[in-house]
Amino acid sequence: MRIMKEKIDYQDISQKIPVTILTGFLGSGKTTILNHLLVTYDMTGVALLINEFGQIGIDHHLIESADETTILLDSGCICCTIQGGVVDALKRLFDRAIKQEIPPITHVLIETTGLADPVPVVQTIMQEPFVAARFICDGVVTVVEATLQPQDIEQFQEAIQQISSADKVLISKVDLSHTSHLASIKQYIQQLNPEVPMLEVQHGKIKRSDFLAKGIYDKNAARPIEKWISYQKPQQINHPTGLFQKSAVYQLQQPTTHKSIVGTISFTFSEALPWLQFTLAMGKIIAKLQKRLLRCKGILRVAGESKSIVIHAVRGEVFPALQLQTHAATIYEQGCLVFIIHQLQQKDIEVIQHYLTHLGTDNAAFKQIKLHPFLPTRSWLKQRIQWTAPLIDHESWLIQGKKFVKQSTHI
C-alpha cells in the first residue's frame, strides 16, 4: 500500500486532494448515478461522503468496516457518513489515511441533500484552515431532471443556486423527455450558467472519467474557459480613466437575462493587469455583490507573468487563482471577465466598471488592502503570482547610535 504522507506545500494546489461536490434537487437521480459508479468502476482512492449509508444500496458490496462512520466497498471506494459536518468527516478521513487505517485518498466526492445549496460546502472546504491546507474544491456537479419545466426550477431558489454554481451539469432521465423539451431545458440551463458542460444521462449510467476527471483546476483548461467567455460576445463601449487610459473595457450591449432572474455582463482588457490592484478591485466587487454574484470567471494576462491566469468565484467564495501551463491565445489577448449576477441592475454594471477602470497605483492598493483584512480575494495575494509596478517611495528610519536618521528608499 502506498503510504500517504503529511508533506504538503499549502500554496501548491497540485498537492491537495481534489473534492467534487455532487448536488441536485430531490428525485433528480443522484443516488442512481452514485450506485452505477460504485458497482461498475474501480473507485480505489475515492472517498464518498454521504449523510447515511442507507441512502445507497451498498450492503452486498461491503467488504470491510473501519467503524460506524467508515466502510470500504469492493470497488475500492471508502464510504463515510457526514457525522459532525463536512469538516469533521474530512479530518477523520485524512487522519486515518495518514495512519494507514484506510487506503490513501486521491479524490473525495461529497453528496449533498436535495435541498442543499452547494456553496456553503465550497466555503467550508476553502476557508477552514485544516481542510483548506489539505483539500481543494475541484468543482460542483449538478444533476437536473430532463422532465422539469423552467417554472419548476424557478419555484425553488436552491435549484437555481445548484445550477448556477455548477461546473458540470448531468441531465438525468433523458429517456423520459421529448427531444424538443430536452432542448428547451438545456437552453434554460445555459441561460443560468452560460456554456456549462452538459452531459445526458440515461438510467444513471455515466463514465467514471466523465465524473471524476480533472475539474476546474486542470492546468490545461484554457479551451473550455475560452468557450465559456466567447459565448458572451462583448462589445466595446468606452475608454477607462486612471491606470488604463490606453485600454479598452468592454461589456455586453444588452446583458442577457431570463425573466430578469439572471443577467450576464462581460469585460475585457487590452493590457496586462497589475495583480495587486486587480485583486483589490475584485475583492471590492465581490464584497459589494455578495451572494447575488452567482459566478465569475476570467482568463487574464498579469503584468510580470508569462502565463495566463484563470480566476473563478461563486457567490462570494473565491477559488485559488490557477496559472495555466502556457499563455492562452484567446480572442481577447489580454483577458476577459464574465459576471453572472442574480437580478442584474444597471448600478451593478456601473460598480464593476468603476472598480475595474480605476485601479490606481500599487502603493495605494497596498495601503487599502491592509485596511481590509476580510477582503474576499485576499487569498490570491498568498499565491506565487507576481505583482510588479514602478518603484514605490517608502520612508524608513535608520538607527545610528542613539539617533534616528530619516532616509528615502525604494521597494
CATH superfamily of the domain spanning 222-382: CobW-like, C-terminal domain (3.30.1220.10)
Q: Do residues 20 and 215 lie in contact, with contact meaning Cβ atoms separated by under 8 Å?
A: yes
Say how far apart CA 104 and CA 206 lie, in whole Å. 24
**Fold of domain 13-212:** Rossmann fold (3.40.50)
285-to-192, 193, 252, 311 alpha-carbon distances in Å:
20, 20, 18, 14
Residue range(s) occupied by CATH 3.30.1220.10 in the chain: 222-382
The pLDDT value recorded for residue 62 is 40
Mean pLDDT per 10-residue section of the chain, whose length is 411 residues: 46 75 86 84 86 49 48 72 80 88 88 80 87 89 90 83 89 88 89 84 86 63 54 42 38 43 78 88 92 85 83 84 66 74 87 87 82 84 58 40 44 39
Taking the complete model, does pTM exceed 0.75, yes or no? no
Q: What cell numbers appear for 373 in the block?
A: 483584512
The pLDDT value recorded for residue 378 is 84
The pLDDT value recorded for residue 327 is 55
Residue range(s) occupied by CATH 3.40.50.300 in the chain: 13-212
**Coil, strand, or helix at residue 310?**
strand
Query: How deeply is 364 buried, as exposed, middle or buried, from its count of CB atoms within 10 A (0-12, 13-18, 19+)?
Result: middle
The pLDDT value recorded for residue 89 is 86
The pLDDT value recorded for residue 247 is 37
The pLDDT value recorded for residue 230 is 52
